[in-house]
Amino acid sequence: MHRFEVWAPIPRSVGLYLDGDIHAMQRDASGWWRADVAAQPDSRYGFVLDDDSTVLPDPRSPRQPAGVHEPSQLAVLDEAGWTDAAWTGRQLAGAVVYELHTGTFTEAGTFDAAIERLDYLADLGVTHVEIMPVNAFNGVHNWGYDGVLWYAVHEPYGGPAGLQRLVDACHARGLAVVLDVVYNHLGPSGNYLDRYGPYLAEGANTWGRTINIAGAESHEVRRYIIENALRWFREFHIDALRLDAVHALVDHTAIHLLEELAVETARLSAHLRRPLSLIAESDLNDPRLISPRSAGGYGLTAQWDDDIHHAIHSAVSGEQQGYYGDFGSLSGLVRTLEHGFFHAGTYSSFRGRQHGRPIDIRRTPASSFLAYTCTHDQIGNRAIGDRPGSYLAAGQLAIKAALVLLSPYTPMLFMGEEWGASTPFQFFTSHPEPELAEATAKGRKAEFGAHGWNTDDIPDPQDPETFSRSKLDWSELDSEPHARLLDCYRSLLTLRRTRSEITDPWLTELTADYDEDERWIVLRRGTLRIAANLGPDPVVVPVGGTPILWWEEPTSAETGATTTIPGHSFAVLETNRKT
């Protein structure tokens, strides 16, 4: 016998559909319906609400083999498929994260195809593989943020068994796995949760109606989220979760959902005897997310830090449109690198208000912040999804890499950036509904057309070619200029791995000098000096030492007091003096 259960306080009656038959279910006082019925391991099932004959998928469906509108399927991972019994996990401090999209990471776009590239990632120096969302959504390809069944794994990628094989293969190579999960909204097609219960709240965020995590009957909705997170850790052996856009979680209860999740995660971590990490994406610039609960924080492990990206990108590229408006100066770059946030209770012209809260750099390690030159957002949310390599010189890409990989922060790479991939990463969808497809395409063009872009240049998200263009071209690795940039990344990651002053997470040990006019910056990390020339012409920086890594070979003065750095280049110098 198998126990089927579903929380559905809204309907007056719920029937269990199982392999063509309907079975009665019994309701308890809290709105849970249950039935004990004999079933096969691969039985198809769903629920029929009230007098509607439509079979709806299980909100906690483990598998949707025919799509998100069809019945669910019982699916239990084969425990014999795991070979990672000796895996003890990896802490996030000291890590190097690599973000990838399963559908475009390889030509085949599957979990099994991704396994074939894991040796490359391990050799590169990556420690954590971050997978963009894989929960079930309608259509074949998508960024993953339109998921509607959070417990199911997207079938075209390989379904739950395919994800199991990928995680197991990562662990066999010493790679931890970070899974991107979305708890702040649901996709536009295939969301039946509001038929079952009060999963949605009044009001909306950027992506649609908000999730009911603080209103009436929100307890079960919160449990729906927390138990989903714990399931990835427990059943799929995931090591960390990246929590999408937590600023869109509207929670005014005494114990925030994120704090509750952190408590439950720590409890499970102790039981599994391996570190489990929670990484927030947040637009708040609020260090309380990662502050310990004993200090009044939520107790998350880390958070993405867009300010570091904006400060580096704007200073190197010169772009100052949109949210780059306050960035671009070297003084702002140094302030951000030394203090974690650029906006820390300061005025944001993009938002038109004060923004952020200062970080206590004496008590908050920089390893709690992820730094990056690229993310899926920072590329894909550009009008044409162009990567920095399409408009920056190779030396500028190398400077950005050096500033991130040799910083005290936890570095994250976005797939292909390490060789300056020429393929774009564009916004793509495959909504089967014609009206939704048309609305998505028109909305994309209207959004960027309002900012002055030629709408003819903006790719149609629904065009299959938009998806195909976004796939990495792995044949580029051995050709120039890609091979040289890849070698630079390898060298930077080797230096990070071998020198303890690079992974030292305390910002109190980082100091910097700069010249706004001549466009150079020097970071001091122990006895190492990272000197970068962001301008096109050679400059003399007032620091000496033995060059041990560079993009274009620098020239040191005879006295050793200065070094000439070629244009759009960096050098790492070894000195005899600590910071």
CATH of the domain at 141: 3.20.20.80
Q: What whole-number distance in Å separates Cα of residue 56 and Cα of residue 48?
A: 6
Task: Find out whether 247 is annotated in a ligand binding site.
Answer: yes
Task: Find out whether 376 is annotated in a ligand binding site.
Answer: yes
Task: Find out whether 256 is annotated in a ligand binding site.
Answer: no
With respect to residue 490, please indicate whether it lies within any of the assigned structural domains.
Answer: yes
Residues 232 and 170 in one domain: yes
> What pLDDT, on the 0 to 100 scale, is given for residue 578?
65
Residues 550 and 424 in one domain: no
52 lies in which domain range? 2-56
Please state, as a whole number, how many other Cβ atoms lie within 10 Å of the Cβ of residue 26: 11
Task: Find out whether 123 is annotated in a ligand binding site.
Answer: no
Q: Is the peptide bond prior to 57 cis by the omega test (within 30 degrees of 0)?
A: no
> What pLDDT, on the 0 to 100 scale, is given for residue 456?
81
With respect to residue 64, please indicate whether it lies within any of the assigned structural domains.
Answer: no
Task: Find out whether 246 is annotated in a ligand binding site.
Answer: yes
Task: Find out whether 443 is annotated in a ligand binding site.
Answer: no
Task: Find out whether 381 is annotated in a ligand binding site.
Answer: yes
With respect to residue 160, please indicate whether it lies within any of the assigned structural domains.
Answer: yes
Q: Which two tokens stand for residue 566?
A: 């070629």
With respect to residue 65, please indicate whether it lies within any of the assigned structural domains.
Answer: no
Q: Which two tokens stand for residue 108?
A: 């085949």
> What pLDDT, on the 0 to 100 scale, is given for residue 209?
84
Which residue in 401, 399, 497, 398 sits closest to 125, CA to CA? 497
Q: What whole-number distance in Å separates Cα of residue 419 and Cα of residue 60?
A: 40
CB 407, CB 493: distance < 8 Å: no
Residues 33 and 99 in one domain: no
Task: Find out whether 158 is annotated in a ligand binding site.
Answer: no
Q: What whole-number distance in Å separates Cα of residue 26 and Cα of residue 15?
A: 9
With respect to residue 414, please indicate whether it lies within any of the assigned structural domains.
Answer: yes
Number of domains in the chain: 3
- Helix and strand tally (H, E) in the chain? 15, 29
Q: How would you write 397-434 as a 3-class SS string?
A: HHHHHHHHHCCCCEEEEECCHHHCCCCCCCCCCCCCCH
Q: What's the whole-model pTM score?
A: 0.97
Task: Find out whether 378 is annotated in a ligand binding site.
Answer: yes
Domain boundary among 497, 527, 560: 497
Residues 130 and 240 in one domain: yes
Task: Find out whether 19 is annotated in a ligand binding site.
Answer: no
Distance (Å) of CA 343 to CA 301, 308, 564:
21, 10, 33
> What pLDDT, on the 0 to 100 scale, is given for residue 558?
57
Task: Find out whether 306 is annotated in a ligand binding site.
Answer: yes
> What pLDDT, on the 0 to 100 scale, is given for residue 183?
97
Residues 482 and 523 in one domain: no
Task: Find out whether 245 is annotated in a ligand binding site.
Answer: yes
What CATH number should be reported for the domain holding residue 535?
2.60.40.1180
Residues 472 and 525 in one domain: no
Residues 476 and 516 in one domain: no
Which residue in 203, 201, 211 sits closest to 181, CA to CA? 211
Residues 471 and 536 in one domain: no
Which residue in 178, 201, 361 sits closest to 280, CA to CA? 178
Segments of the chain scoring below 70 in pLDDT: 204, 206, 450-452, 557-559, 578-579
Residues 317 and 282 in one domain: yes
Q: What whole-number distance in Å separates Cα of residue 435 and Cα of residue 523?
A: 53
Residues 461 and 537 in one domain: no
Burial class (CB in 10 A: 0-12, 13-18, 19+), 11: buried
Task: Find out whether 309 is annotated in a ligand binding site.
Answer: yes
Q: Can 281 be counted among the known catalytic residues?
A: yes
With respect to residue 363, please indicate whether it lies within any of the assigned structural domains.
Answer: yes
With respect to residue 66, please indicate whether it lies within any of the assigned structural domains.
Answer: no
What CATH number should be reported for the domain holding residue 13?
2.60.40.10
User: Of 244, 260, 319, 326, which residue is the catalytic one?
Assistant: 244
User: Of 180, 259, 281, 286, which residue is the catalytic one?
Assistant: 281
Q: What whole-number distance in Å separates Cα of residue 212 and Cα of residue 186?
A: 12
Residues 545 and 403 in one domain: no
Task: Find out whether 307 is annotated in a ligand binding site.
Answer: yes
Q: Can 338 be counted among the known catalytic residues?
A: no
Domain boundary among 497, 522, 540: 497
**What is the DSSP secondary structure assignment for residue 509, as one 8-state letter?**
G
Task: Find out whether 23 is annotated in a ligand binding site.
Answer: no
Domain boundary among 462, 497, 532: 497
Tell me the pairing of strands 240-243 and 176-181.
parallel
CB 145, CB 135: distance < 8 Å: no
> What pLDDT, on the 0 to 100 scale, is given for residue 76?
87
Place of tokens 């195909």: 468
With respect to residue 164, please indicate whether it lies within any of the assigned structural domains.
Answer: yes
Residues 354 and 471 in one domain: yes
